[in-house]
Amino acid sequence: MTLEESIHAHSVTTPDKTAVICGDSSITYSRLWESIVGRAAALQAEGLEPDRPYVYRASQDIDFVITYCAVHYAKAIAVPLEHKASEESFRAVKAEVESCTFSDDIVDILYTTGTTGKSKGVMLSETALVSCADNFICDLHFSPDLLFIISGPLNHIASLFKMHPVLTVGGTVCILDGLKDMNAFFDVFSLPYSKVATFLVPASIRLLLQFSYDRLCSVADKVDFIETGAAPITSHDMELLSKALPHSRLYNTLGGTEIGAVCTYDFNDGKYMEGCIGRPMKNSTVEVTPEGNIIVSGLTVMSGYVADEESTRKVLKNGKIYSADLGYVDEAGLIHLKGRQGDVINVGGFKVDPVEVENAASSFAAVEDCICIADTHPVVGTVLKLLVVTKDDAELDRQALARHLKSRLDPHKVPLYYEKVSSVMRTYNGKLDRKYYRKQN
């Protein structure tokens, strides 16, 4: 069933069950369904027609769920934008999508963050949404008694596509406005639910481990699972999280706006393999070419980019997404990521994945955050530079950090330059903003 059909079914079978919680507000399945139908009628009265886009800013609350589902119920296309989107970008997106015609199977258009280039509108079909939810339900074992915490922006796939499986199976969604308030996050565990799960980008996991480790341990018996993705998680953080939550499932997932969620791996296995994303999910196929390129196909892939046939042809060929991810398959048949095309830095003829350097640096006690970028040496040319945020703003011991890296990396992967910075640029969904640093150089 579609998300809306599932909500309708639960409004009949479990009408008084809480569907969504946000702060002091909550809404039952019966009331949620009534609100969706009412909002859809209002949108239609305002002129929204089937197969036409509805552009709006994504609020981080129950009203977002109502509007999003109402647009679908009205047979229209939901185009949620980041809630802080400028008026200029809002108007640009609105003009772009309203100038296009869409097939009747398109239900969502999600705009990418643009970290690797111009932000693009990704067209998603009903089949893609339902199949992605099915992947999560089957492989991450979503259940009706689950309370799922969504703290990321609801216009982004990492959060929006968790709402789908939770409400499809009849669970409860708890919406937070980010993780700025750790108390609000842990207060959720005092609610009368025995199974709690969430999605957290690796940067958020690190914050929890650094500043709230004991509190995390104290709620371990309630944590059903935690999923991460969108950026690499270090083996050091995997191990710490596994020790804090020894009986929880801890998933590292390969996903993206263009491909949906396609591969996952429970890293609470004592191996803590960096980059391991396991095996393909139910409705997805993942191939790794001899050259290391990752190709994704299946029911969850996008239908194309809005008003950009050239970019669509480059990425989507014969139903397969040729992603920028690089990887390999190990002897056990598990897929591992090895960075992204365009991120790899060529140092003296050696290709270096900056993620490997960053992961090694993150295991150094004084490092709170870091990014490895390319820099220029007047004699040898391109070299590696590590920008470091230290814990408690301590002084950076460059020599000690260099020795630490030399003990863990091949010589050509050890940065030549080190710089202490107050913060590292990240996108709003937690990814390192490598595009920003490439522009600076």
Q: Indicate if the pLDDT at residue 50 is higher than 60.
A: yes
The whole-number average pLDDT for the span 115-120 is: 64
Cβ proximity of 142 and 166 under 8 Å:
yes
- pLDDT, position 297: 97
- pLDDT, position 429: 64
Residues 128-183: tens digit of each pLDDT: 999 999 999 999 999 999 999 999 999 999 899 999 999 999 999 999 998 889 99
**Residue 325's closest CA among 295, 304, 285?**
295
Report the distance separating Cα 404 and Cα 205, nearest Å: 23
Residues 255-310: tens digit of each pLDDT: 999 999 999 999 999 999 989 999 999 999 999 999 899 999 999 999 999 999 99
Q: Indicate if the pLDDT at residue 55 is higher than 60.
A: yes
Fold of 342-440: GMP Synthetase; Chain A, domain 3 (3.30.300)
Residues 1-15: tens digit of each pLDDT: 999 999 999 999 999
Cβ proximity of 415 and 383 under 8 Å:
yes
- pLDDT, position 428: 67
Highest mean pLDDT: which range of 5-9, 79-83, 119-123: 5-9
Residue 441's pLDDT band, with cuts at 50, 70 and 90, is low
Q: Indicate if the pLDDT at residue 115 is higher than 70.
A: no
- pLDDT, position 114: 55
Sequence ranges of the domains in the chain:
3-338, 342-440
Report the distance separating Cα 250 and Cα 242, nearest Å: 8
Mean pLDDT value across the chain: 93
Quote the tokens at residue 91: 């108007």
**Backbone angles phi and psi of 37, in degrees to 5:** -60, -45
Cβ proximity of 373 and 341 under 8 Å:
no
Q: What is the model's pTM?
A: 0.84
- In order, the DSSP letters of 358-416 are HHHHHTSTTEEEEEEEEEEETTTEEEEEEEEEEGGGPPP-HHHHHHHHHTTS-GGGS-S
For the chain, the distance separating the N- and C-terminal CA atoms, rounded to the nearest angstrom, is 49
Residues 230, 115, 344, 409, CA torsion sign: negative
Cβ proximity of 177 and 60 under 8 Å:
yes
**The domain 3-338 belongs to what CATH superfamily?**
ANL, N-terminal domain (3.40.50.12780)
Residues 216-241: tens digit of each pLDDT: 999 999 999 999 987 788 898 999 99
Cβ proximity of 79 and 120 under 8 Å:
no
The whole-number average pLDDT for the span 335-363 is: 86
Q: 């305002």: which residue's tokens?
A: 46
